[in-house]
Every structure is written in structure tokens, then in C-alpha cells.
């Protein structure tokens, strides 16, 4: 069965190819209750953190929904896990909007620390849900881009990080604001990905946040870093 593409599928992040997709979306209250029961059961199983593998059969047993009914909506267990990630990111993207409002008038260093601390907090939440799934589909789980009208990371940085830097043009001294915005929006996320793969325990260390803030401010050559006039 071919998947029908909607406006949300084609014009917002993430594109469908980046995440496992459901077979169909529930339209009625009863079918929504079925999907919710399946999602809650999957979340409960993942939260237990046992060595027993996640399977559709196990999700069916915990949820009370038959295997056949689950397969009406989901082609496999990964599509169920993807729904959990979508719901978390929908929630976190709303919180991000509120956080952005609070950043207005904060000094650059303080605003940068708040932004990066929030990014790390969300990454930890997603990573602990299902570590292997998170790393496999990491490209899709971009909090800042989530449900936004972006097709590339460059579109995202131009629409978000670049205006942010312009708010602090009196505090920074970078010769290339566009490049700096790209490094903030793309480069720091790459650092987080590497830490998740290699030394995930360090993600929760205060020193990691300090280092990330230092890297970000280093890209911007802030006032205190400017050398004497020549």
C-alpha cells in the first residue's frame, strides 16, 4: 500500500524517509484509544529497562490490544517507538518556544548556556528512552527543526541561529556570522552525537555543558576575547 503524503509530510521536519512510519493514523476516538494503549505499553516496557527484547507480541500482551489490531496501525515495533519519540518532541518543541521567549534581554553567555542546557536535557531524555533507536534515527530528532518549515540544516540556521546572533552583534566579533550560525546549529549537534556514541555518561556531566558553552562562545569571539585595537 502506498503512503499518502500530506502537507505535514512534505513541508515540515522531519521528512518521512527519516523515521519509520505508521500504516495509518487513527480517525475515531476508539482507534485513537487503541493507538494510545499501544504507545503507553511500549513506553512502559522501555521504561522497565529489562534485558527482555521489545517485540510486538510483548506490546500486545501489556496493552491488551491484539497483535492483529496493532499491525493495522503499525508495520513493526520501530514505528511504535517512533510514535513515542514524535510525542516527546512535540511536547519539547512547545517548551522550546516558551524558553525562547525567556531568552530575550539575557546576556549572551547566559542565553547560550540556557539554550545548550535545554538541548542536552532533551537529548538525555530521548537517549534514555531507547539508546539504539535514538542513535539510528538521530538525524530526524532535531529539536529546533521539529515540525518546522525546514528542508535543510542551513535553512534552519539561517532562520534561527543567525537572527539570534544579530541580537548580540555588540557582544560578538566574528568575521563570518553565517558560518558561526552554521557551526552553532550543526557543529555543536555533531559534538553531542559523538559523545552519545563514544562516552554517553559524559553527557550529564556539568563539565560537558561548560565545554560546549565555551566552544560556542569561541565561535563568536565575544567581547572579552577581542584583542587590543591595532
Query: What tens digit of pLDDT does each residue of 161-200 get?
Result: 999 999 999 899 899 999 999 999 999 999 999 999 999 9
Q: Please determine, for residue 5, whether its predicted confidence score (pLDDT) is greater than 50.
A: no
pLDDT tens per residue across span 17-65: 899 999 999 999 999 999 999 999 999 999 998 778 999 999 999 999 9
pLDDT tens per residue across span 65-87: 999 999 999 999 999 999 999 99
Q: What percent of the chain is modeled with pLDDT above 70?
A: 91
Angle at 109 between CA 106 and CA 113, to 5 degrees: 95
E-assigned strands of 72-140? none
List the chain domain ranges.
90-225
Which whole number is the average pLDDT over 122-138? 96
What pLDDT score was predicted for residue 8? 41
CA-closest candidate to residue 150, choices 93, 219, 108, 194: 93
Amino acid at each position: 500500500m502506498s503512503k499518502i503524503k500530506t502537507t505535514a509530510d512534505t513541508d515540515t521536519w522531519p521528512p518521512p524517509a527519516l523515521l519509520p512510519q505508521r500504516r495509518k493514523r487513527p480517525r475515531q476516538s476508539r482507534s485513537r484509544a487503541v493507538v494510545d494503549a499501544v504507545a503507553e505499553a511500549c513506553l512502559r516496557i522501555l521504561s522497565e529497562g529489562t534485558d527482555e527484547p521489545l517485540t510486538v507480541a510483548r506490546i500486545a500482551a501489556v496493552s491488551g490490544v491484539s497483535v492483529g489490531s496493532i499491525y493495522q496501525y503499525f508495520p513493526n515495533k520501530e514505528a511504535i517507538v517512533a510514535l513515542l519519540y514524535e510525542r516527546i518532541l512535540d511536547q519539547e518543541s512547545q517548551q522550546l518556544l516558551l524558553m525562547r521567549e525567556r531568552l530575550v534581554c539575557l546576556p549572551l553567555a547566559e542565553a547560550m548556556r540556557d539554550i545548550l542546557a535545554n538541548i542536552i536535557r532533551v537529548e538525555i531524555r530521548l537517549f534514555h528512552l531507547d539508546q539504539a533507536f535514538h542513535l539510528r534515527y538521530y538525524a530526524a530528532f532535531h529539536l529546533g527543526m521539529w515540525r518546522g518549515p525546514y528542508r535543510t540544516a542551513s535553512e534552519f540556521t539561517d532562520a534561527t541561529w543567525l537572527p539570534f546572533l544579530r541580537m548580540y552583534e555588540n557582544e560578538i566579533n566574528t568575521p563570518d556570522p553565517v558560518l558561526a550560525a552554521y557551526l552553532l546549529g550543526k557543529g555543536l549537534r555533531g559534538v553531542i552525537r559523538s559523545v552519545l556514541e563514544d562516552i554517553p555518561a559524559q553527557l550529564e556531566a556539568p563539565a560537558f555543558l561548560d565545554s560546549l558553552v565555551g566552544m560556542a562562545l569561541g565561535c563568536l569571539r565575544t567581547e572579552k576575547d577581542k584583542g587590543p585595537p591595532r
